[in-house]
Amino acid sequence: MIIQPTSLAAQLWAGAAAGTTAATTQTWAVGTLLSARLLAQIDVAKVLLDIGGVAVEADAPGTSLPQQFQVRVMTQGPQPQMEVVLGNTDERVAMQGLRERLPQQNGYSQLLSVLSALSRRPVARVLPEPLRTALATLEASISKPEDLGTPEGMKQAIAKSGAFLEAHLAEPQNEAPAADDFKAALLNLRRALTDIPQTRQAMIQAPSRPFTDTPPPLAQRALVAQPRAEELRTQEMLADEETADGLVSHLRTDVRAAVSRVEIGQLESQPHAGLWMIEIPLTGVRGYDVLQLRIEEGKPSAIEPEGMWTVGFAIDPPTLGAVQGEVQLRGTRVSVRLWAQYPETVARLEDEFTTLRRVLEKSGLQLDHFACMHGLPVPTSAYSAVLLEARA
């Protein structure tokens, strides 16, 4: 939904969108929930809304909006994005959790690039022993690609992704977190970093590096593959022992962002509705990659008594480039659609078609459809809840 300011509110909307004052910057901060009210239906294609006290015209979303609802600020800048939030009071705790974590989250690539580079740089030797131990624990929690090659291996990788840590601890027989749980390792690393005093000089001298802003793992948004951070710049940052204090400063930021991202995935997962958002860090060649999963269990119906499982995934290893896919399972029938960033990757994936069909047949499954396309998929409304894109 594209928001256009009305003539009466254009100046106020432009100021709020651009964040030109302290008040409006706070009001339109990323993650902020704003009250919205449907004022009028202008015509078939447009509605008039009151959002946070600002009257705006908007393209009709294709589905009817209630008289009152909420929108969440997703991005700032000249064209901030908002998403419609439809829910009830029972969801307020989850919404508050998202508001707190969305401004802090980022992809895992920054943290994983430092973890990868540390194993090959002398600066690791001067880090405090508890921090080295916590980093080693985090490294041990990361799955290997071969682990995902079997159903049991994939099950274990999902279980230790961090998404189920609290559920694991809630079981009576489990008094401590699993030793290889990714979120538990992140929390352990955060505690180790908290015990290290941060000096003002360290913050001033912290080496700079490129920052990648990775979209959060929201259930109704399309998956976006996470590429690795720039390895060369990361190695330059760790070139000598004098950067140890700056490294600790960066780790604090990266760990906070990673924990927030795990928890956003937990908040966005809806087991009661058969929906899970999961990200699995993987050991790759000279670095780490991230496999993103969106697992959805379709409810049985008169037309489909068995329901349908849908698994969307995205990954961006350097050897293949970004690859996204969707696997649908209905009874014993399977459909597979793949998208690849590079044409040579498309050829490599198509070469595995026969192998895939044989593996499925050995499992008692039938491959109904297989397609591999060059280019990445364009998000559809079913997977994108970003309905409001404000234009000042």
Per-residue pLDDT tens over the stretch 342-352:
999 999 999 99
Mean pLDDT of the chain: 80
Q: What is the pLDDT of residue 35?
A: 78
The per-residue pLDDT for 217 is 92
**Mean pLDDT over residues 333-347, rounded?**
96
pLDDT at 26 over 90: no
- Predicted pLDDT at 20: 47
Distance from C-alpha of 139 to C-alpha of 156, rounded to nearest angstrom: 16
Is a pLDDT exceeding 70 seen at residue 88? no
Residue 392's pLDDT band (cuts 50, 70, 90): very low
User: Which pLDDT score is estimated for 92?
Assistant: 67
Q: Which residue has the tokens 């294709």?
A: 62
**What average pLDDT does this structure show over 11-18?**
54
Q: Quick one: pLDDT at residue 72?
A: 79
How confident is the model over 311-332, as a mean pLDDT?
94
Q: Is the pLDDT of residue 296 over 70?
A: yes
B/e letters for 170-209, b = 16+ CB within 10 Å, e = fewer, are eeeeeeebbebbbbbbbbbbbebbeebeeeeebeeebbeb
- Per the CB < 8 A criterion, the answer to whether 30 and 73 are in contact is yes
pLDDT of 13 over the 60 cut: no
Residue 73: pLDDT band (50, 70, 90) is confident
Instruction: Give me the pLDDT at residue 25, please.
Output: 44
> Is the pLDDT higher at 208 or at 139?
139
Question: Which has the higher per-residue pLDDT, 4 or 367?
Answer: 367
Q: Looking at residue 23, what is its pLDDT? A: 47
pLDDT at 122 over 80: no
Which of 280, 167, 177, 170 has its CA nearest to residue 223? 280
pLDDT confidence bin for 105, thresholds 50/70/90: very high
pLDDT digits (tens, 9 = 90+) for 353-390: 999 999 999 989 999 999 999 999 876 544 434 434 43
Q: Is it the case that residue 141 has pLDDT exceeding 90?
A: yes
Between 290 and 236, residue with greater pLDDT? 290
Beta bridge partners of 289: 282
Round to whole Å and give the CA distance between 132 and 243: 16
| Structure token digits, residue 78 | 């000249």
Q: What pLDDT score was predicted for residue 386?
A: 40
Mention every residue, 6+ apart, whose C-beta is less than 8 A from residue 151: none
* Choice between 327 and 210, residue whose per-residue pLDDT is larger: 327
Of 160-164, 222-226, 268-272, give the range with the top mean pLDDT.
160-164
Residue 174, pLDDT score = 66
When pLDDT is averaged across residues 237-265 and rounded to a whole number, the result is 81
